[in-house]
Every structure is written in structure tokens, then in C-alpha cells.
Amino acid sequence: MVAITVPISVDAIPLVKCAHAAAAAHTDPQIISVLRSNRTGGLQIMLPEGRWVPVAPDPDSLFINVGDSLQVLTNGRFRSVKHRVVAPAEGQQSRLSVIYFGGPAPTQRIAPLPELMREGEQSLYREFTWAEYKKAAYKSRLGDHRLGPFELPAAVTQEATKADHHCSSNAVQPPAPAPPHVARVH
């Protein structure tokens, strides 16, 4: 069982005279992040080839981010995606986001779940605690690959070959209008 902490963050990204990153490029360290924002855009994700694409703002939807911890728990099947927030340009409404970060307790051990491993599949990560991850993360910069210290040597080449299969530009297209009785799932 994984214990979940419940921090909530409210981010107000103010209007600025020039567009720049209001939240630097990073992956989320937790298991999962759930974001809700107003109609102002600015959230962008990085595709595997390194190109930034905008995520269409939709105040009626939730944006779910896989965190580094979930990437480890699924042995890379779910990938944490690098993202950033660009400040709104002059004349645009400020961006307001409410974010839930679901993460493990400091003593929780994190490793690929045996139930998700195929027969003969190698673990891409060594086991570590959330506290160990946080300690290593605080020694790095926000945009650094913070899972690096926990990757097993054979995993580095496996990760490179899997990278093209985890993200699609379809994930950032504006959702098709749904009938009022059908909930949108993103």
C-alpha cells in the first residue's frame, strides 16, 4: 500500500510585459498531479523530440500529470512528462491554477511494482524511499533528470529505445466537444 500526502498548490501566474517561463521546465516528482485552471493558456508539454506544444486551456476539465514516482512504480510504462508554464502576454487574463500533488510518505519505498512486471522483465530503477528521492532532487536543478541517480545501468539504453512510444501530440489537441451528459476524459 502506498500512503498519499495531500498538498494543494494554488498558482497565480500574473500578466507580464514579455512572455517567459513562469514555471520552469520540470517533471513532477510525486505519484500524480491533478491540475485545474482558468481559461488562460500557458501550460506546455515537451514532446520526445524536444518540441514544446501548448495544452489547450479548459476550465471544465482536469489535467492529470504522471509524476516521477508513478513512472518508477510502473517501470516506465507511464512516463512523467516535462512541462512548463509560460506567463500570459500583455492583454491576457492572468492564469490561475489549483494543483493537487499526490505523493508518498517519506519512508515509503518506491520501486517497480512486481504485479506490473512481465516475466523476465528487468527493473529500470533501484528501490529508494521518497525521502532519498527528495534529498537527491534538492541537490539538482528543477529541470534536471531527477530519476537519473535511481536508474539501473541497463535501464539507460532501454529507456532511450522506449522514449518514442510514450507521448503523442494528440494528447495536447483541444478536446472535441462532448455532449452535456458525457464527461470528458483527458
Give the residue among 13, 12, 7 at the shortest CA–CA distance from 28.
7
What's the first-to-final CA gap in the chain, in angstroms? 26
pLDDT at 128 over 80: yes
pLDDT tens string 15-56: 444 444 567 899 999 999 999 888 888 899 999 999 999 998
- Residues counted in the chain: 186
Nearest of 2, 26, 19, 7 to residue 137 by alpha carbon: 26
Domain boundaries, the chain: 8-142
**Whether the Cβ atoms of residue 22 and residue 87 lie closer than 8 Å to each other:** yes
Mean pLDDT of the chain: 78
Whether 115 has a pLDDT exceeding 70, the answer reads: yes
Nearest to 146 by CA among 72, 63, 45, 75: 72
Higher pLDDT, 131 or 166: 131
Nearest alpha carbon to residue 64 among 93, 88, 99: 99
pTM of the complete model: 0.71
Region 8-142: CATH code: 2.60.120.330
All three cell numbers of 20, joined, read 517567459
Whether the predicted pLDDT of 137 surpasses 80: yes
